[in-house]
Amino acid sequence: MEKIEENGSTEEKQSLKEGSICGYNSLQHLLSENLKPQLYQEVSRLLLGLNCGKTLETIAVPESAKSLSSKHGFDLQAFKFSADKEVLREPRVVRVGLIQNSIALPTTAPFSDQKKAIFEKLGPIIDAAGASGVNILCLQEAWMMPFAFCTREKSWCELAEPVNGESTKFLQEFACKYNMVIVSPILERDINHGETLWNTAVIIGNNGNIIGKHRKNHIPRVGDFNESTYYMEGNTGHPVFETAYGKIAVNICYGRHHPLNWLAFGLNGAEIVFNPSATVGELSEPLWPIEARNAAIANSYFVGSINRVGTEIFPNPFTSGDGKPQHSDFGHFYGSSYFSAPDASCTPSLSRYKDGLMISDTLNPKSSLIPCYIRSLLKFQEREVGRSMRGFIVQC
């Protein structure tokens, strides 16, 4: 990775990778390369927290996964959350993976070619997850297409699929091959109800079966996020899905800004909540490392946060009614996917500009991760708030 001095030349600055931080692929990379080890350790403690009183342990991934990462140029990181050993219960370790990726072809390419190229790009990353023993894998929001909802152009609706459509069939093969649960966020076409479009996460079981789906229940109307042109708030409530490896939920993208959204999934029994997203730096990056981590602490579950990568240029410039000149892109999707735990610890983030796979071992039961005073508060919160919200929560 190229780094520049304060007086670096224009040519050097132009050579920096788009989306990097002064030539570094993440904030943690920048700090680790520029701080003395003792100082970096202290800064890391403040930024990432401690797990059982120490920094997170890394997981050794198999050589086959490393080889795929090197060959296909994606970031690969793996960590282990630990907990105090209990006498009467054995820990249930669940290995979870998150995939972030950029699109594979220009947005001017035929739609079928764009989707096929994304499938081909994701194949090796999913293979790396399978080789690493991942039990549950989650992809980013609308992973099978560009995030074209800024354009308000009808043609992008062609990429919508039924729940059992092309993208699901593609992932079902991997689910069966690796005995893996896969969360697949797509643009859904509801063929049974007037071909209504939804922003939907399909839950694929480890046998390739479709366990269920959840539809995004908070839709942004901010800046270029003109998503209500395509779909409205979902009608599935806050479902929790019973999988072979534990109870999971999906809080899609904008839902992370709503504390009661996180709470509802927790009250319904979620052990791991995924937040597949598509968000750009100008709007949300200061919030990104905070919201999911807060949710994990407040609701006593693990959170996997996934964001897409890259800058997607569209053929027709657009405006968004905010007084800004017309433009052809959303801005930079900054990746930075990571895991958070109930004890306030979290992993470093993936790259801001490269495709990536984040792997983490989570623990259930997880009560030994949570300080006693927080556990008491959670029980009170669950009893009191659950009583008032019970009629508004849909249990899967």
Catalytic annotation, residues: 141, 216, 253
Q: At what angle do helices 288-299 and 259-267 cross, to 10 degrees?
A: 30
CB 305 within 8 A of CB 337: yes
- Which residue matches tokens 């657009």? 318
CB 91 within 8 A of CB 40: no
- CA 203/CA 137 separation, integer angstroms: 10
- CA 218/CA 296 separation, integer angstroms: 19
Residues 6+ apart with CB under 8 A from 222: 283
Backbone φ and ψ for 88, nearest 5 degrees, come out as -100, -10
**Partners of 33 in the beta sheet?**
none
CB 220 within 8 A of CB 227: yes
* Cα dihedral 225→226→232→233 (10° resolution): 20
- CA 123/CA 72 separation, integer angstroms: 10
Residue 4's Cβ-side half-sphere holds a number of Cα atoms within 13 Å equal to 16
User: Nearest CA to 126 among 174, 87, 70?
Assistant: 174
